[in-house]
Amino acid sequence: MYEIIKKKKLGQELTEPEIRMVVDGFTAATIPDYQMSALLMAICLNGMTAGETIALTMAMADSGGKLDLSCLSGKTMDKHSTGGVGDKTTFIVMPILAALGFPVAKMSGRGLGHTGGTIDKLESIPGIRTNFSPEEFLCITAKHGICISGQSGNLVPADKKIYALRDVTATVDSIPLIAASIMSKKIASGAEHILLDVKCGSGAFMKDLNDARRLAKAMVDIGIGCGRKTAAIITNMSSPLGRTVGNSLEIKEAVEVLSCCPNAPKDLVEISVSLAVHMLHLAGEGNLTTCHTMVEDVLKNGKALAKFADMVEAQGGDRTYTENTHKFDAAMHTRHVKSTCAGYVSTIDTEGVGLAAMLLGAGRKQAGDDICYSSGMVLDVKIGAYVNEGQVIATLYTNEASALDVAENKLLLSINFMPTMPSIAPLVYETVGF
């Protein structure tokens, strides 16, 4: 291990056997934290080649159990988002794909800090289960075409150990380490086709478009190098996606999109449809126009919404909540937030909006914290909107009255104004791997 650390410190390329020895040894606790920390810092400072990153990904993917999706008929598909605020696209895109006959066996995570978690949002539906054995997970997917589960405890244990160390050694922001962490879980999850939604902007981990490009290319290269059909879309996270931030609030909004509600947020509809279309295109189902027609058809005929309801019921949840979203519990306390000035919304600190929702009880400051499913907010403004002084710009929801003041202040500090109309960035910046 000493020689491997020294080699990477000098910027030299590690071999596949060396990388596998490190991952296996650290997972088995035969390599101590202090040596692994030194290697992670050397990687952070000197980077990794594409070959090294693929070797690291495969070694991590091989560190625990893997899902074998060969029992599922049809092209298997998986989508991964690098995280944002108000991102509920999984509940729209995956039912669309399943309604078109493509099996969706998706494993997702919980939220921490300003980013919401797919599993937390799903668990706001009463009765629903998200913890399954691999056999149950595959059985539900085979029968109903879709299942969204929490990550298996034996899936990529190396990543859990390495990430915990990165978190306390200032080595989280290494693109090769980020890419290997994400892609090791995608490879172990077994899908043939992987579409990556790389977020860019104030609410994303990648604030800069060039960094988002680098991460997208690194992950696509890994996926292709590991024998999976992989591509990425770089999407805008300079403001929350949709209007809602918070668990049950986001489920309600996803149902609006699946129901083709005319009031559904246009940005959420556009991003969700684009992801579904590009996934179909990646899987060879036709050109973008053909794939767009397929997506629109299952939205308009109600099959996508029905597939989401079927999934909820198959996982033990009450499907009537997808048919009547007014059944969700309402928060005990609400507050309208009014603008303190007039002007055009110029920028939104989307991470700040996510933190305001966390303060209301919708998220966790640290792993293990309880969350309130009904807490969160509804935003009434987007970048470019003109706002009068005293106009309501958001509504806060919480069960803790004491959280309202601090969350309101955080939200107001997160929304900035200017006297003239700002330029509006596109929702989809570009694609990688198509």
- Give the active site residues: 80, 159, 166, 181, 185
Query: What is the 3-state secondary structure of the chain?
Result: CHHHHHHHHCCCCCCHHHHHHHHHHHHCCCCCHHHHHHHHHHHHHHCCCHHHHHHHHHHHHCCCECCCHHHCCCCCEEEEECCCCCCCCHHHHHHHHHHCCCCEEEEECCCECCECCHHHHHCCCCCCCCCCCHHHHHHHHHHHCEEEEECCCCECHHHHHHHHHHHCCCCCCCHHHHHHHHHHHHHHHCCCEEEEEEEECCCCCECCHHHHHHHHHHHHHHHHHCCCEEEEEEEECCCCCCCEECHHHHHHHHHHHHCCCCCCCHHHHHHHHHHHHHHHHHCCCCCHHHHHHHHHHHHHCCHHHHHHHHHHHHCCCCCHHHHCHHHCCCCCEEEEEECCCCEEEEEECHHHHHHHHHHHCCCCCCCCCCCCCCCEEEECCCCCCEECCCCEEEEEEECCCCHHHHHHHHHHHHEEEECCCCCCCCCEEEEECC
Report d(CA 282, CA 228) in Å as an integer: 11
Q: Are 393 and 353 in contact (CB under 8 A)?
A: no
Locate 289 and state its tokens: 């126009």
> Looking at this protein, which amino acid is placed at residue 212?
A
**Residues with Cβ < 8 Å from 416, sequence gap 6 or more?**
345, 346, 347, 348, 349
